[in-house]
Amino acid sequence: MTFAVPFGSVANAEQLRRGLNVAISDKVRIPPASIDPSIKNYHWLDLVRGLYDAYDRGAETALILDFNGNVAEGPGFNVFCVKDGKLKTPAVGVLPGITRRTVFDLCAEAGLAASAADVSVAALKAADEVFITSTAGGIMPVTVIDGISVADGQVGAITSRLMALYWQKHEDPAWSSPVSYT
């Protein structure tokens, strides 16, 4: 089954400029043994609970944990962290999103190392840069986690570079398919 809705972004223009304020919720992502996260579904109770937890804490969105206490994903998006020029994204309990996959492709093209592996809360908070990815927004910077600035609190150079590359690819015929509405 498919359906179409108007395009909307997880982050608005101001949030894209300054970066998002994210809270890490103690809500746990439903384990893959219960619901396969690689299949897009609308069982979002865990994600919505995390989002309300984030709102209660003054954040704009949430990240929730996997069943091992590592960072998993947020409501409708994946997360990446950058440390010493290397990118990492959670590997377990997440939807392997198309934009997440695109970041791997962009990194390969740009000569950046990117891997999927466990991402601890401590590693995420100690990152040089953090960003989230979603079809509804592309690559979106995170500059505050749990009320604390990520690095210097500014959108990082690698995040900015990948954001620009991502949107440039929308104009590249090798990366896009034109749609005729006639």
Annotated catalytic residues are 40
d(CA 129, CA 162): 12
Instruction: For residue 131, give the nearest of 170, 100, 94, 96 by alpha carbon.
Output: 100
Give the single-character DSSP code of 10: S
Handedness of CA 24, 14, 41, 51 (dihedral sign): positive
Query: Strands 86-89, 148-149: parallel, antiparallel or unpaired by DSSP?
Result: unpaired
d(CA 74, CA 64): 6
d(CA 65, CA 23): 11
Task: Please report the DSSP string for 132-149 in residue order.
Answer: EEETTTEEEEEEEETTEE
